[in-house]
Chains A and B, each alone.
Chain A
Amino acid sequence: MKKPDRALRDIHTADDAGGNGIHPLACLLVTILYILAVMSFQKYNMAGLAGMALYILILCIWYDISILDMLRHIWPAFLLTAMIGIANPIFDSTVSAGTLSMATLIVKGCLCAAAAYILIAQTGIRPLCSALRTLHFPKELIVVLLLMYRYLTALVREVKQMLTAYRLRTPGTKGLPFRTWGSFVGLLLLRSIDRAEEVYESMQLRGFQGDFLLSPGSYSPVWSAVYTVLWGIAIFALRFFPVFQMAEVLLWRILK
C-alpha cells in the first residue's frame, strides 16, 4: 500500500473507531491517569515502567490493534525522546546511569504515545473531542483539532492525486526527484488551500459558527464505570506495588 493510501486508511480507521459501548470520557480519564502514572516513575526505574507496558499489551489484544502498526505510528515519539535524552550518558553521574535514564525517558515517551494512539483507536476522533469538551477544554482548541483532522484528509487526497498524475507521466522513475519538490509542494499548498476553503465554506453555509456539535452517541454507563474503576485500580497497583515481584513470590509459594 502506498503512503498516501495508508495515511487515508489511518484517518478513516480513526473515523470508524468507537462503538465499543465505553464512554469516551472513561477512556480519556483512564488514559490521562495512565500517562500521569508513567510520567511519575523515577528516571532509573525501568522495571516499574516495564510493568506499565501491560496496559498497552492488554488493550492492543482487546481492541485487536496491530502492534506493528502502532509502533509505526509512535516512532516519532521514540526519535523525539531519544534526541532529548541523548546527552544523559554524558551529563549523568555515570555513563551506565545516564544510559539507563535515557532508556527510561525513551520508554516513557513511547508508552505515552502508545496510550494516546490506543485512545484514538478506541474512541475515534469526534467522540474524543466530545469528551474533551465535557472536561471543559477550550472550545477553540477542540475546533482546531477537528478542523485539522478534516483538512488532513483533503491534503492527503491532493498528495495522492498529484503523485499519481506525476508517476503516470514519468514511467521508470522512482519517487519524486529533488528538483521537483519545490513546485510540487507549492502546488500542493495552493490546491489544498482551495479545497480547505471549500470545505470551510460548506461548513459555514450549514450554520457552522465556531463550534462543532457532536452527536451524543450511545454508551453503557455501567460498563464505562466498570472500565474506569478496574483500570484505575490496575494502574494504581502497577505504579505503587512491585506487581511482578509479588507475582513471582506468590508463584514460588504455590510451587513449594
Chain B
Amino acid sequence: MADIEITDVNFSYQKGREVLHQISLRVEHGRSVGIIGANGAGKSTLLKLPVGLLDGYEGTIRAAGQAVEKKNLAQIRKKVGYVFQNPDSQLFLPTLYEDVAFGPRNYGYPEEQVRQKVMEVLERVRMEHLKDRQIYRMSGGQKKLASIASVLSLDPEIILLDEPTIALDPKNRRNIIEMLNGMTETKVIASHDLDLILDTCEETVLLAEGSVICRGKTEELLTDPELLEAYDMELPLCMQGGRSRFRG
C-alpha cells in the first residue's frame, strides 16, 4: 500500500476558485518525491492535505494507511510529519529542547523517554550542543534544522517539507540536503529550488494551476528545458552551465 494516496482531489479556499483540480498522486513507501511548480501552482496546498490541515476537499486522501478524516487525524499526524515553510511558525516554545519535546509529551511519552527521544533527534540533526539555546537566538539555518528535529521527534513514517531551503545560505542549504538524503522516511518536498529537488528526490511531480502536468524521474523531468519553460520555470542552476559565470 502507498504511504500517501490522493485520488481525484479538488480543493478551493473560496467557492468558485479551485486551487487544486483533479489531483491524483501516489507516494510509495520509502520514496522521495518532489513537487515543483511556479508560484500559486498549489504546491503548499497539496502538501497540507495529507495531514488534515485543510478540509472541505472533494475526492479521497489516505495517509499512512488511513483515510484522512477527523477521527483519524491524531494517529495520522503521529506518522506524518509536516515541516512548515517558515520555521518561526513551527517553533513556538522558548528553548530547542522544549520545542522538540512538545510532540512526544503530547503523545504521552514518559519524561525519561521524552528526554531520550529529544537527545536522539538533536544528535541526528547535529544540534545536541544547542539543546538549551533560546529559539529566538538561533540563525535561520538552525531554526530550519530545529523545525525538522521537532517533527522527527515523533518518529514519523512520512515527512512533508514545504520549501525546506528557502532563505538559507549555501552551507545551511547543503546541511539540509545532506540530512534529507540521510533520512530513510518517505519524503515529499515542495520547492522552487530545483537543485534541491534534483539532489534529494527520485521522482518529481510538476504542478501548474492546480493540476498535475506530469510525473517522472527527476533527472528526466528537470533536464527538459522546454517543459520547464512552458510552466514558468528554469533548468536547475547546476545545469545552466552557460548562464552562470562561476560554473564550468
A residues with a Cβ closer than 8 A to B are: 8, 12, 15-16, 126, 150, 153-154, 157, 195, 198-199, 201-209, 213, 215-216
Which chain A positions have C-beta within 8 A of B105?
213, 215
Which chain A positions have C-beta within 8 A of B77?
204-207
Could you list 24 examples of A-B contacts with CB < 8 Å? A15-B94, A126-B94, A195-B89, A198-B86, A198-B89, A201-B84, A202-B89, A202-B92, A203-B92, A204-B53, A205-B53, A205-B77, A205-B81, A206-B77, A206-B102, A206-B151, A207-B77, A207-B78, A207-B103, A207-B106, A207-B107, A207-B154, A209-B74, A215-B98
B61 to chain A, nearest CB (A): 16
0 or 1 for each of B28-60: is its CB under 8 Å from A? (1 = yes): 000000000000000000000001010000000
Residue among A126, A153, A213 with the most chain B CB within 10 A? Answer: A213
Specify the main secondary structure of chain B where it touches its partner. Answer: helix
Give Cα A80 to B150, complex, Å: 43
Q: 7 tightest CB-CB pairs across the interface, nearest first?
A: A207-B106, A198-B89, A206-B103, A15-B94, A213-B105, A202-B90, A207-B107
Q: B103 touching A216 by the CB < 8 A rule? A: no
B88 interfacial by beta-carbon distance below 8 Å: yes
A69 to chain B, nearest CB (A): 19
Question: Which residue of chain A is the closest to B99 with respect to CB atoms?
Answer: A206
Additional pairs, 17, CB under 8 Å, beyond known A202-B89, A202-B90, A206-B154: A12-B134, A15-B94, A15-B134, A157-B88, A195-B88, A199-B89, A201-B84, A201-B89, A205-B53, A206-B102, A206-B151, A207-B103, A207-B106, A207-B107, A207-B154, A208-B106, A215-B98
Which chain B positions have C-beta within 8 A of A8?
136
Q: A199 touching B134 by the CB < 8 A rule? A: no
Give Cα A126 to B99, complex, Å: 13
Which chain A positions have C-beta within 8 A of B53?
201, 204-205
Which chain B positions have C-beta within 8 A of A208?
102, 106
B residues with a Cβ closer than 8 A to A are: 51, 53, 74, 77-78, 81-82, 84, 86, 88-90, 92, 94, 98, 101-103, 105-107, 111, 134, 136, 150-151, 154
Residue among B86, B92, B150 with the most chain A CB within 10 A? Answer: B92
Q: A206 touching B101 by the CB < 8 A rule? A: no
Specify the main secondary structure of chain A where it touches its partner. Answer: helix
Which chain B positions have C-beta within 8 A of A201?
53, 84, 89
Question: Which residue of chain B is the closest to A8 with respect to CB atoms?
Answer: B136
B35 to chain A, nearest CB (A): 19
Question: Which residue of chain A is the closest to B97 with respect to CB atoms?
Answer: A215
With A12-B136, A207-B103, A213-B105 already in contact, the answer to whether A199 and B92 are too (CB < 8 A) is: yes
Which chain A positions have C-beta within 8 A of B90?
198, 202
Q: A206 touching B94 by the CB < 8 A rule? A: no
Partner of B150, one of A126, A150, A206, A209: A206
Which chain B positions have C-beta within 8 A of A205?
51, 53, 77, 81-82
Q: A207 touching B74 by the CB < 8 A rule? A: yes
Which chain B positions have C-beta within 8 A of A195?
88-89
Which chain A positions have C-beta within 8 A of B134?
12, 15-16
Q: A16 touching B154 by the CB < 8 A rule? A: no
Which chain B positions have C-beta within 8 A of A216?
111
Give Cα A11 to B53, complex, Å: 29
Which chain A positions have C-beta within 8 A of B102?
203, 206, 208
